[in-house]
Structure 1
Amino acid sequence: MRIALALLLTASPAMAATARVEDGGALADGRHVAAIVLNNGAVSARILAYGVTLQSLIAPDRHGRRADIVLGHDTADEYEAHQDYLGATVGRYANRIAGAEFALDGMTYHLRRNGAGPNSVHGGGLGFDRQVFDVAEVHGGKDAMVRLTHTSPDGDSGYPGELRVSITYRLDAKGALTIRFEAETTKPTIVNITNHALFNLSGEGAGRTATMARLTIPASRMVPVARGNLPTGELRDVDGTVFDFRHPRMIETAIRDGREPQIAQARGFDHSFMLDAGLTARPHLAARLTDATSGRWLEMWTTQPSVQLYTGNYFDGSKPGKAGHLYRMGDGVALEPGLPPDTPHLPQFGSARVDPGRPYVHVMIYRVGILR
């Protein structure tokens, strides 16, 4: 669906975008965490310094009613108590690494194991989602922005090299929230950083499943998975399968297809799609969600070559989210740009290598608007 068919959420030209710092709550050790609110008059985003977490993204529906479309928690201590990655920045390596180890320049590095099986997931359990980043810069004006920084020491969770990380959120007048991930290392290492927000365009507590939205992903191939949701190493054409989202399609119609072994294996969608645009210097469209009920649409743009589609398959109503809402399967949809899982073992998917003097950069954009 072309941009021209939709309405961007644009603030009044007379209104400057604002940025303010609030108290986001305290962690178990007593540390208070900053929360930064970016607001363009139509759209607002709240970012917690704990995990550089997108805590909320508030946007109006077709009737002007504002709602938070991001799943999450109300305070920093709740994010600390429930490691569910909701809205968090995940790294050093997002997604899974088989056997919790990888080889680089003849050396084998052993990572922290976490999750099901002997693998490392989203940085090994003590990754960026568990760190309090420093607030380095905040300002409003034409755009509202915040830059947060953190230094991951050499050997952190088994990864080589001291990694200096800078993450910038920028909200512009048109309702585009840009996230720029930058990292510099002192030794050859691997890096794959992304945001793990789960969206429900009807509103995170609306009581309507997120999978009722229509999804478009411009990808002709997907990555099949085996046990532990690790890639098999092959690439499969999506043509004629439930993974074909090259044209808008309701997620719900595909997620219930028990005849597809991949859906049964992952309990829904938890798969990487290889974007037709590949790795690019400038962000390209990677996914588009539209919700006919609210009239909202969301696009995700990225410079990375793939996007992981995850439909909240392991939410079982046992852990409360915002305002005590119990999230269940399908209540949120994640669109995580980056490299496919286990790329350090599967070079056909690309390279996660980062060397000294050659910084890692990943730019992604969430754009929100209203259908005409």
Structure 2
Amino acid sequence: MKPYKLPEEHLFDHQISGKHTHLIVLENNRGVAVALSDYGARIVSLIVPDKQGDPTDVVLGFDSIQGYLSAQEPYHGVTVGRFANRIASGRFTIDGETFSVQPNNGPNALHGGAGGFHSKVWDRRVVYKEKVDFYYVSTDGEEGFPGRLSVMVKYRLTDENELVISYRAETDKPTVINLTNHAFFNLNGEGNGDVLDHILEIPADKYLPVDETQIPTGVVEAVENTPFDFRGPKSIGQDIKTANDQLAGANGGYDHNYVLNPATGGIPTLAATIHSPLTGIRLDVLTTEPGLQLYTGNFLNGKDIGRQGNPYGKYGAFCLETQHFPDAPNHPDFPSTLLLPGQVFQSETRYRFSVLK
């Protein structure tokens, strides 16, 4: 393995649709650094010390903007919107009016459609080595969504080894919104094999089963006595090859939403804890969101080659996407994703890193 290091900034100097792209680096005083790009308001690289004190990049990605433009997987590290996860048939109704998003995932719309927030160059404001605010205005009708939506995503790196992501949005027409970050993590190190050895704990009693197109059936099912039970720590790989229709339908892995204990007072609560026995790196995910999508890289196929020069194969990463529930606009009993004029959408997620000796 080559030593892990941040990408070079000049390799992210590019122009997309008339706007320049950049690489922004945040650093704290404990050896943690995160590289971000205004293309997709995305995490490009996240370096943390392992149990030996060696810098380890724990996020999949590429050394240049060209790598992202040509990647088969378009969601590496991005801010996902206007609606994260899936909307059945790309259709939803607000006040009796039906809106349509062009399907881009079989019969369904995924992650805001093909021209979602992941494909946009955001405006930015940087506070040197501490935080960066990304801004984007989504026009009325963009990808079929109603309303002019003004969005801000703020990344802040603390000296407590937390990467704090804060979201804020306002609209001039009733619309739906569901924002998340889509970092692909491997705590063994980017490009260093699969994540099946990672020990995961999700303090959630219930999850959402899905149909054959990965749309929630509407049933909220207990995790007890299923492969989806991570209430106690266990490896990702322990039950992943169990004969189970839900796992089989997601290409032999997890791609499901967990129902979290609700946050109170806008204070993020613990959604998941995961660590690598190899490096000792531990990640705690805290959020104000009601759901957590666990995805275990089941559709990675080795065609994308990462910064270490290694292919990103099946199970080569995990995602812990804090969000509202998939297809929520079509399920009145799910937590609402409706945003009205005069309201402010706000959400916060924290990635907290530490080391187990």
Among candidates 266, 281, 300, match of residue 250 of structure 2 = 266
Match of 1:37 in 2: 25
Q: Secondary structure at the match of 2:303?
A: strand
TM normalised by structure 2 equals 0.93
Counterparts of residues 174-193 of structure 1 (less than 5 Å): 174-193=160-179
Query: What amino acid does structure 2 have at the position aligned with 1:240?
Result: N
Answer 1 or 2: which has greater helix percent.
1
Give the Cα–Cα distance (whole angstroms) in 2 for the partners of residues 21 and 147 of structure 1. 18
**2:149 equivalent to 1:163:** yes
How far is the alpha carbon of 1:31 from its aligned partner?
A: 4.9
Answer 1 or 2: which has greater strand percent.
1
Give the Cα–Cα distance (whole angstroms) in 2 for the partners of residues 27 and 88 of structure 1. 18
How far is the alpha carbon of 1:315 from its aligned partner?
A: 0.8
Query: What amino acid does structure 2 have at the position aligned with 1:102?
Result: F
28 and 91 in structure 1: CA distance in 2 versus 1, 3 angstrom threshold: closer
Give the Cα–Cα distance (whole angstroms) in 2 for the partners of residues 315 and 280 of structure 1. 38
Match of 1:305 in 2: 290
Question: Alpha-carbon deviations, 1:169-197, whole Å to 9, x = none?
Answer: 00000100000011110111000000000
**2:103 equivalent to 1:113:** yes
Query: What amino acid does structure 2 have at the position aligned with 1:237?
Result: A
Query: What amino acid does structure 1 have at the position aligned with 2:105?
Result: G
How far is the alpha carbon of 1:81 from its aligned partner?
A: 2.1
Query: What amino acid does structure 2 have at the position aligned with 1:251?
Result: I
TM normalised by structure 1 equals 0.90
- State the Cα RMSD in Å: 1.7
Conservation of the 8 A alpha-carbon contact between 2:305 and 2:311: yes
**2:76 equivalent to 1:90:** no
Q: Secondary structure at the match of 2:246?
A: helix
Query: What amino acid does structure 2 have at the position aligned with 1:265?
Result: G
- The count of residues paired between Structure 1 and Structure 2 equals 347
Conservation of the 8 A alpha-carbon contact between 1:196 and 1:334: yes
Give the Cα–Cα distance (whole angstroms) in 2 for the partners of residues 75 and 182 of structure 1. 28
Query: What amino acid does structure 2 have at the position aligned with 1:34?
Result: H
Percent pairwise identity: 39
Give the Cα–Cα distance (whole angstroms) in 1 for the partners of residues 265 and 276 of structure 2. 28
Conservation of the 8 A alpha-carbon contact between 1:80 and 1:130: no
Match of 2:239 in 1: 254
Counterparts of residues 106-255 of structure 1 (less than 5 Å): 106-116=96-106, 118-140=107-129, 144-207=130-193, 209-255=194-240
How far is the alpha carbon of 1:24 from its aligned partner?
A: 1.9
100 and 316 in structure 1: CA distance in 2 versus 1, 3 angstrom threshold: same
